[in-house]
Each structure stands twice: as structure tokens, then as C-alpha cells.
Amino acid sequence: MNYIAEMEHESYTRLRKVMTTLKIEMSDAELARKFNLLDQHIRNWKVRGVPKDYLIDLADEWSFRIKYVRDGTGEMFDPLRPYKNSPEAQVVLAMQHMDEATKYQVVKISDSLAEPEPKPNGHNPPKATGT
């Protein structure tokens, strides 16, 4: 009797690589439970690929790039991933939805609020007061 070895879909293999990189140890059964799925669903992912809806949920939680898992292009992670929840990242995200004039005003205001760089001799200029 000849058995054909079941090939693992590339997107599932890349998802597992992301999990290994993040040191997420989770069996297929645990992955199924995470989404309230049957084990058969995960077996389907292995054969047919990871569905986009689940990739979106996992990418939000684990901060990997969907395009990497889906088709193997680009970087596994966004280089700014460690700063994802920083105040700076939140400002950048908000600014992506602003027109140029509003962005200019935000930058101008933030520059006026920024701490002055310390001078080499240890003396700092006095803080500007709002007028």
C-alpha cells in the first residue's frame, strides 16, 4: 500500500515559525481551543492554509506581519513591534489619518512641549512658558 505524505501548507508552516520565534508553545489542540474550534479545523489549516480572519486575529495578538505568513514575503515582524503600544506609536498611528496642515500643527505643538536637550556643560536653558 502506498501512502502519500501529507504536505503541510506553507502558511501554516510560517505561522508555526512565528510561534517558535516568539517562544509560544501551543499544540494544535490548544490552538483550536484558543479560537473555540475543532481540532479538524487546525488540520484543515495544515492542508489548505490559515484563513485570513484567523491570521488577522493572531497578527493583532502576536504582532507578526500577515503578508509574511500568508505568502512568505517581507519581514516576519514589523521593526517597530517593540514600540507598538508606546505613546509615540499611538501618535504616529493617529497622524496617519490627519491632513498635512493638522500634522504640521501637531508637530509644532509637540516640539514646543519637548524637553530641551541638556547642554554639555550641564546647564539647561529655562523652560518656555506659554504666552
- Pair 101, 67 in one domain: no
Angle between helix 100-113 and 87-95 (nearest 10) = 160
User: Is 118 inside a domain boundary?
Assistant: no
**Number of alpha helices (DSSP H) and beta strands (DSSP E) in the chain:** 7, 0
- Pair 23, 63 in one domain: yes
User: Is 59 inside a domain boundary?
Assistant: yes
Mean pLDDT of the 7-11 span: 92
Residue 104 has φ and ψ, to the nearest 5°, of -60, -45
- Pair 33, 70 in one domain: yes
* pTM > 0.95: no
* Host domain of residue 30: 10-78
- The C-alpha angle 124, 128, 131, rounded to 5 degrees, equals 170
Say how many domains are in the chain.
2
Give me the sign of the Cα torsion angle 46, 23, 58, 67.
negative
The rounded mean pLDDT for the chain is 83
- Pair 73, 96 in one domain: no
User: Is 70 inside a domain boundary?
Assistant: yes
Mean pLDDT of the 73-98 span: 78
pLDDT at 5: 47
